[in-house]
Amino acid sequence: MKYARLIVAVIFLGFCGLVAFGAFHWIVNRVYVPPGNSLLLRYKGPLIFGERKDAKAGHFAKEGEIGVLAEMRGPGRHFYCPIWWQRDVVPDYVVKPGEVAIVTSKLGDPLPKGEFLVDGDLGNTKNKGILRKAYGPGRYRANPYAYEFKIIATETEEVSQQVKHAGWVTIPTGYVGVVTYLADNPAESKRAGIQPEVLPPGLYPVNPRQRQIDIVEIGYRELSLHVTKKTDKQGQIALDESGEPMPLPDTGINFPSNDGFEIQMDFTAIWGVMPENAPEIVRKFGNMEAVEQKVIVPQSESICRNNGSKLGAVELLVGDSRQKFQDDTSTEFEQVLLDKGVTLLYGLVRHIYIPQAVRFPIQQSFIADELKLTRDQERETAKTEADLREAEKKVDLEAEKVRVETLKLVANVQAEGEKLSREIEAETKQLVAAVDKQVAELEAQKTVVLGEAKAKAEQMQREAKAEKFSLAVEAFGEGSAYTQWQFAEGLPEAIDLQLLYAGEGTLWTDLKNITPTLPLRQPKQKPKTP
């Protein structure tokens, strides 16, 4: 009895211990991590028993070492005793659209001298420093003890009139991205500097410590150098005596001709940069505006001046020399731009302003020439008109001839047809008469043959009957016997014959016995009177 009570007490105490341990474990040790968060654990080490071993400075703690664990626990319930563990619930890093996360590793060995970017990914780095990789929109579970997140949007930096883009970089349609590496990247075999490959239009997360992007417009653009025209008080363009606009001095492209006249002109260049030339443009000039100001404008003026100054004012105004000036200017301008990585589509000399003193006599000469040409053309037109009318009359005459000849041919064809028709009709009648004659002859022959055959047949029938009668009489021996036989043959098959024997004087008495067999005529009855 004493031992039984002892056993019950031990069991009861054990059960209470288990309940107390379970309650302590559920209430004190339990840590709940909500979604979007993680559990960061730091081991504090043993309290009394065991050896205290600290983790290596600047590194995560290994198994049994005092320090922060590299692996974090995800959302849910976890049980760690706060006596031995420091438990911290940390939120995940969220990078929104249009943002980029630049991550700095706080643990690991120092980088070699001269390097400042760390290769690798989250949880897989060996050095301290800024990670080479930039992280785009998304949710990241990163240990804050080891990694520091810096979330940025689009960053721009102006360097020598160049706008450098980093962070969340958007390259629109019609543009390309020229990439500049700030440090070598052995993993991609890239050297620091401007890269020959360009980025097509799109969205790119760019680490500003690793790369910078120049956004360069590709395709063609237009640049025109215009001469400014004088205006009157009403703001209308002022015209000289010949109706030409009057330019303001020193505007557009101006130069002296080889005969000493001041020339002004308008020039338009259609130029652009192709994608493969964009890195060279950024390397040499910086941006498209610099290309326009440093290349297009000065080269347009220089080439037009050099070629124009070789010609006189009249040569610039008219004739093949004007076209040659256009062709030479465009060809030389294209070659100069090609050497600088710029493509020229058109280089157009649009309008050349010649001084009125030179232009007016030439215009008058041209007007006279044009008037002469007009008169000559009018005479040619009148002559052509007369030739046309004569040709029309000839056409009408020939048409009438054709019509008469056609009627004549039609009449001849009809006459020939009528003649042929009559001949065919006469021959047909002649053939019909011949056939009718043959038919009549055949009919006559038929009638004779049929008559002869019919007469012959009747003769033969009569002879056959006579011969038959003669043979019959001969067969019966005498004519009366043959007559009786014929009588018998003529009697009906259903006749009922009765032979009666009668003596002399008994015929009439015996007839009464056969009276019922003879049909008697019934007397007519008189009609009844009402």
Claim to verify: residue 189 and residue 286 sit in the same structural domain: no
* Alpha carbon distance 432, 427 (integer Å): 8
* Residue predicted with more confidence, 526 or 190: 190
The mean per-residue pLDDT over the stretch 469-497 comes to: 72
Q: Which of 457, 481, 454 shows the shortest CA–CA distance to 469? A: 481
Tell me which of 354, 384, 400 is where a domain ends.
354
**Please, which residues have CB within 8 angstroms of residue 204's CB and are 6 or more apart in sequence?**
168, 169, 171, 177, 213
Does any domain span residue 4? no
147 and 186 within one domain: yes
Q: Which of 175, 201, 217 is the last residue of a domain?
A: 217
Percent of the chain past pLDDT 70, that is, above it, reads 86
What single letter denotes the amino acid at residue 50? G
Cα–Cα distance for residue pair 218/74, rounded to 1 Å:
48
In a domain, 302, yes or no: yes
Structural domain includes residue 162: yes
14 in a structural domain: no
In a domain, 424, yes or no: no
Query: Per residue in 194-220, pLDDT tens?
Result: 999 999 999 999 999 999 999 999 999
Domain assignment present for residue 156? The answer is yes
> Are both 113 and 166 inside the same structural domain?
yes
Residue 42 lies in a domain: yes
Final residue of a domain: which of 217, 240, 267? Answer: 217
Give every CB contact of residue 22 below 8 A, 6+ residues apart in sequence: none
d(CA 307, CA 314): 14
Confidence of residue 293 (pLDDT cuts 50, 70, 90): very high
Is the confidence at residue 103, as pLDDT, over 70? Answer: yes
328 and 276 within one domain: yes
User: Exposed, middle or buried: residue 355 (CB in 10 Å: 0-12, 13-18, 19+)?
Assistant: middle
Q: Does residue 223 share a domain with residue 346?
A: yes
DSSP per-residue letters across 217-265: E-EEEEEEE-PPBPB-TTSPBPB-TTS-B-BPTT-SEEEE-TTS-EEEE
For the domain that residue 226 is a member of, what is the CATH number? 3.30.479.30
Residue 524 pLDDT more than 80? no
Question: Please, where are the H alpha helices in 318-355?
Answer: 319-339
Answer whether 118's CB lies under 8 Å from 127's CB: yes
CB 354 within 8 A of CB 308: no
460 Cβ contact list (under 8 Å, min separation 6):
none
Please state the domain count of the chain.
Answer: 3
Residues 101 and 86 in one domain: no
pLDDT tens profile 22-50: 676 677 788 999 999 999 999 888 876 66
| β-bridge partners, 347 | 269
* Same domain? 204 vs 228: no
470 has pLDDT over 80: no
Of 281, 130, 261, 132, nearest to 196 by C-alpha is 281
Rounded average pLDDT over 407-423 = 88
Claim to verify: residue 98 and residue 78 sit in the same structural domain: no
The pTM for the full model equals 0.58
Is the domain of 193 the same as that of 241? no
Poorest-confidence range of 94-98, 365-369, 462-466?
Answer: 365-369
pLDDT value at position 520? 47
The predicted structure's pLDDT at residue 152: 92
12 is a domain residue: no
Instruction: Please indicate, yes or no, whether residues 208 and 228 belong to a single structural domain of this protein.
Output: no
Q: Give the N- to C-terminal CA distance of the chain in Å, as an integer.
A: 159
pLDDT at 428 over 60: yes
Flag whether pLDDT at 502 surpasses 70.
Answer: no
Backbone angles phi and psi of 283, in degrees to 5 = -65, -40
* Radius of gyration of the CA atoms of the chain, in A: 69
Per-residue confidence band for 144, with pLDDT thresholds at 50, 70 and 90:
very high
d(CA 218, CA 364): 48
Question: Which residues span the domain enclosing 75?
Answer: 29-90
Question: Do 98 and 129 belong to one domain?
Answer: yes
Is the domain of 226 the same as that of 343?
A: yes
Instruction: Read off the pLDDT band of 447 (50, 70, 90).
Output: confident
Structure tokens at 481: 């016997």
CA distances from 9 to 6, 15, 16, 17, 529 (A): 5, 10, 10, 12, 159
Structure tokens at 275: 């994608």
* Higher-scoring residue by pLDDT: 341, 485: 341
**DSSP label at residue 276:** G
pLDDT of residue 530: 43
pLDDT at residue 134 tops 80? yes
pLDDT at 318 > cutoff 80: no
